Copies of this chain bind each other. A is one copy, B any other.
Amino acid sequence: MLAIERRRLIAESVRSRGVVSVAEMAEALGTTEITLRRDLRVMAKEGLLVRTHGGAVQPMGLGHEPSYHEKSGQAAGEKAAIARLAFSMVRPGDSILLGPGTTTLALARLLVNSPELTVVTNSLLVAQALMEAPRVEVILTGGALRRSIHALVGPAAEESVRALRASQTFISGNGFSAERGLSTPSPLVAATDRALASAAQQVVVLADHTKIGQETMCQTVPAARIHTLITDSRADPNELAAIRETGVEVRVADVGEHEQSSRAAR
């Protein structure tokens, strides 16, 4: 096996799995750990990976953001189930909008192998996830970077979606109630989400049970403008009933037994 070929495989492994171990790779590539260590050292110097004890990890820049990831561990199983249900509503050839949030991010990760799709988003994390999706056309809105949610907001963001029209918008938020609809704590984010919502024929809200019945400061979209809410089975049934009253179609995602949210974030 050629050295360059070996390194290409290592790079690929790092990109796809995030981490590699020296022993494991040496075994897989049929070489010794010494050689592999040398490869890793060279590749680390080139910035292709970051060396750690016993292996190497993906350099920060592609892949997973830790601070944001802590949050995504909460109700991870539920979020994944919601994302799967939302995924089933996407048809090949569609143009869809994705807002920021851990649940929409989970949806984006499911879209990686999807064929022929156009995704418009203001979330850097969604864009990052779809970097791996060769057949998905990704369009980012412009806008000012809001660090806390890794998303683009502000007038520029709203302006750039004004010209667009998509079949569906998938957005999330911090609270959803029958009375107030979808809400978030930040006026800037709310305004941008509102722009996303108004650019699509169908507005789908992804909100796990921790958000149902919650109300936060700024209304994003009133319930009347929302077509579908996808949540999970631990949401308060009374509130869901009230939401249905307002004309929103409520769909409840089934959480597989193996992915209860009791599990800690990795």
Contacts and interface: CB of A to CB of B under 8 A. Distances in A.
Chain A interface main SS type: mixed
Interface in A1-35: 2-5, 8, 11, 19, 21
Contacts of A8: 19
Contacts of A141: 142
A24 to B, nearest CB: 9
A4 B142 contact: no
Nearest to A105: B61
A53 B2 CA distance: 8
Contacts of A178: none
A45 B47 CA distance: 26
A152 interface: yes
A266 B4 contact: yes
A145 B125 CA distance: 13
A3 B70 contact: no
B138 A55 contact: no
A73 interface: yes
Contacts of A53: 2-4
Interface of A: 2-5, 8, 11, 19, 21, 45-48, 52-55, 57, 59, 61, 69-70, 72-74, 76, 124-125, 127-131, 134, 137-145, 147, 150, 152, 156, 160, 266
